[in-house]
Amino acid sequence: NLLKYYAEIQNIFKEFEVQEVIPTTQQLKEAFNMRMKDTSEEQPEETPVSFWEVFDEFVKECGNQNNWTASTYEKFAAVRNHLKEFKEDATFNYFDEFGLNEYVNFLRD
């Protein structure tokens, strides 16, 4: 999302540059907000991705990018198993300060 915002801001600056105008902060904010409003109306709402799908994608991507060894994959498999045992229906929202403390307590017991 940040990359998308960056690209939009660059496009806004290009448009002002073509007009040979240096935008004020307010003009930039207004142009950006208008574009973000337009794109949010156009895009259908994204389907939520499960915690486990993201976890697996993280392991896959980071493993490939960082040339993980078999033992590193095994460690992440163990973390996944601990998390599943702790909370099968884990969500990102659950793991706030309270949820993280609960997980740490679970691991200690």
Structure tokens at 29: 């904010």
Residues 27 and 70 in one domain: no
Residues 71 and 30 in one domain: no
Give pLDDT tens digits for 40-94: 565 566 678 899 999 999 999 999 999 999 999 999 999 999 999 999 999 999 9
Model pTM score: 0.57
Report the distance separating Cα 57 and Cα 88, nearest Å.
17
Give the number of domains in the chain.
Answer: 2
Q: Are 103 and 83 in contact (CB under 8 A)?
A: yes
Residues 29 and 61 in one domain: no
Residues 69 and 97 in one domain: yes
Residues 35 and 72 in one domain: no
Report the distance separating Cα 38 and Cα 52, nearest Å.
32
Residues 62 and 99 in one domain: yes
User: What's residue 27's pLDDT?
Assistant: 92
Residues 56 and 102 in one domain: yes
Residue 39 confidence (pLDDT) above 90 = no
Residue-range definition of the domain harbouring residue 31: 2-42
